[in-house]
Amino acid sequence: MKRKAVAVIFGGRSGEHVVSLRSAASIMEAIDTNIYEIVPVGISREGVWFTGPDTWLSLWEQRMPREASRTVVLTDPTRPGLLVQTDQSPTEWRYQPIDLVFPVLHGTYGEDGTIQGLFDIAGIPYVGSGVLASSTGMDKVFMKALFLQFGLPVAPYIYFYRLQWSGNSEYWLKQVRTKLGFPCFVKPANLGSSVGITKAFSEDELSKAVEEALLYDEKAIVEEFVEGREIECAVLGDSEAEASRPGEVIPCNDFYDYRAKYIDDRSSLVIPVELGESLEKKIKDYSIRAFQAVEASGLARVDFFVSSTNGTVILNEINTMPGFTSISMYPKMWEASGVSYRELISRLMDIAESRFHRRQALMVAPPE
C-alpha cells in the first residue's frame, strides 16, 4: 500500500516558534511511518518556508538550511501539494503531492486561522480546527464572548486596543482598579504559551504590564485574579467529542508563565488529578461545551481555575493547538485516559481526513 504523504509544519513567525519545534519533533518521531511518509516543512521566524532533511535542525540552530529547498503551498485543489524549488535552479520547481497536513504551529500565523484558510483554499486536509475555531480560540476577547453566549463561567475582564491605551491610559487604569482590582492578569489578546503575560499587583505594575502585552498584539486583555487550583482537560473529536481525565498544574512560580512551562522544571503536573466524581464531571462537561462553542475540531486543551474559596469553576481559555511534546499536558492527559501518544496522533489524522471528505461531499454546484 502506498504511504500517505503528511506534511508536518513547524516553526513559524509567532513568539512560540521554539515551542512549535519541540512539539513537531515529538510528533514526527511518533508518526507511523508504515502508513505515512513524513514531509518536514519548516517556517523561519521571517516567514520563509523550507522542506528537506535539514529543515528542523536548521531552525532549531537558528541558521539557514543547507539541505533544504524553499517551498510554497500550491493553491490548486485539483493538485493538493507543495511546489519545491529544485537544486539545479531557483526558477525551477517540482511538485510534491501532499495527502494531509499536521500544522504544529502555536500562536499567530499558525494557530489563529490564517494557515487553516490557506489549506482550505488548497484543498488539503489538515489536523485541528478550521478557520473559525482557530481564530476565535486565539483571540481571548472573542473566545470569552462566545463562552458567555454558551452559558459558560468566565472571570470578569476588560480589554482595549493600543490606540485606546495610548490616548487615555488613566481611564483604563481606573476601569481596572474599580472593576477588577489587584492583583490582576494582563495578557496580549492573541498569543499563547503565557508569552507576554504579567500578574500586576498595583497600578504602576499594571502600566508596565500593559506595555509589555502590547509588544505582542494590538489588543490587551486584563482579567480578574482567581485564587485557586489550575485544572486542565483535553478534548478529542469533531462534532462528537470526548474529554480526558483532567490534570492539575502546580506552578513553581507565582503563576504558570513561559519560564515555568518551558525553562524551569520545578513545576508539578498531576495527571490525572483526583477531583471527586461531581467536579470531574463538571470539568469534562464544560470542556466539551467550550470545544463546541468555538466549533473546534480534532484537539483542544481547555484550562480552568477552581476557586479555593468556594469551589467555583471558572473557564479560563481553550487552546486549539496545545503543546504536543510527549510530556505536554494534552497527550499526558490522554495517556492517563488510556490513549497512547502514537494512537492519539493517528486518531487526529483520521479525524482530519474524515472531516475533509465530509465537507467535500457538501461542496456541490447549486441547481441551475
Task: Kindly state whether residues 324 and 301 are assigned to the same domain.
Answer: yes
Do both 146 and 264 map to the same domain?
A: yes
The pLDDT tens digits for 357-368 are: 998 888 665 666
Which residue segment(s) compose the domain that 48 sits in?
4-126
Of 182, 200, 224, the last residue of a domain is: 224
Question: Are 172 and 194 found together in one domain?
Answer: yes
- For residue 321, being part of any structural domain is answered with yes
In this structure, the answer to whether residues 231 and 106 fall within a common structural domain is no
Q: Compute the distance between CA of residue 337 and CA of residue 28 in angstroms, rounded to an integer.
A: 22
pLDDT of residue 333: 97
Average pLDDT over residues 206-216: 94
CATH label of the domain that carries residue 206: 3.30.1490.20
Domain assignment of residue 82, yes or no: yes
Write out pLDDT tens, residues 156-192.
999 999 999 999 999 999 999 999 999 999 999 987 5
Same domain? 201 vs 231:
no
Q: Tell me how far apart the alpha carbons of residues 138 and 113 are, in angstroms, rounded to a whole number.
A: 8
In a domain, 367, yes or no: no
pLDDT in tens, 272-300: 999 999 999 999 999 999 999 999 999 99
Give a yes or no: residue 71 inside a domain.
yes
Number of domains in the chain: 3
Percent of the chain with pLDDT strictly greater than 90? 81
Indicate the angle between helix axes 329-336 and 341-362, nearest 10 degrees.
Answer: 100
Among 206, 224, 242, residue at a domain's last position:
224
Average pLDDT, the chain: 91
CATH number at residue 249: 3.30.470.20
Mark whether 161 and 300 lie in a shared domain. no
- The per-residue pLDDT for range 213-267, each reduced to its tens digit, is 999 889 999 999 999 999 999 999 998 999 999 999 997 656 545 454 444 455 6
Does 145 share its domain with 194?
Answer: no
Q: Give the pLDDT band of residue 327 (cuts 50, 70, 90).
A: confident
Let me know if residue 363 belongs to a domain: no
How much is the pLDDT for 90?
A: 72
CA distances (Å), 200 to each of 207, 210, 316, in order?
Answer: 9, 9, 17
Is pLDDT of 142 > 50? Answer: yes
> 83 and 141: one domain?
no
- Tell whether 235 and 338 lie within a shared domain: yes
pLDDT at 262: 46
Residues 161 and 235 in one domain: no
pLDDT, tens only, 52-108? 999 999 999 998 887 779 999 999 999 999 999 987 677 789 999 999 999 999 988
Residue 361 lies in a domain: no
- 115 and 144, same structural domain? no
Contact between residue 2 and residue 97 where contact means Cβ atoms under 8 Å apart: no
Per-residue pLDDT tens over the stretch 3-53: 999 999 999 998 889 999 999 999 999 999 999 999 999 999 999 999 999
Tell me the one-letter amino acid at 157.
Y
For residues 101 and 352, what is the distance between their CA atoms, to the nearest angstrom?
Answer: 9
Flag whether 362 is in a domain.
no
Least Cα distance to 287 among 345, 329, 340 occurs for 329
Instruction: Tell me the three cell numbers of residue 41.
Output: 516543512
pTM of the model: 0.90
* 268 and 330 together in one domain: yes
Q: Is residue 364, in this structure, part of any structural domain at all?
A: no
Q: Which contacts of 337-342 are long-range, i.e. CB under 8 A and separated by 24 or more positions?
A: 337/234, 337/244, 337/245, 337/272, 339/236, 339/244, 341/26, 341/30, 342/30, 342/32
pLDDT at 65: 80
With 0-12 / 13-18 / 19 or more C-beta atoms within 10 angstroms meaning exposed / middle / buried, residue 176 is buried
Average pLDDT over residues 205-212: 96
| Residue 107, domain CATH | 3.40.50.20
Q: Which of 299, 187, 185 is nearest to 233 (CA)?
A: 299
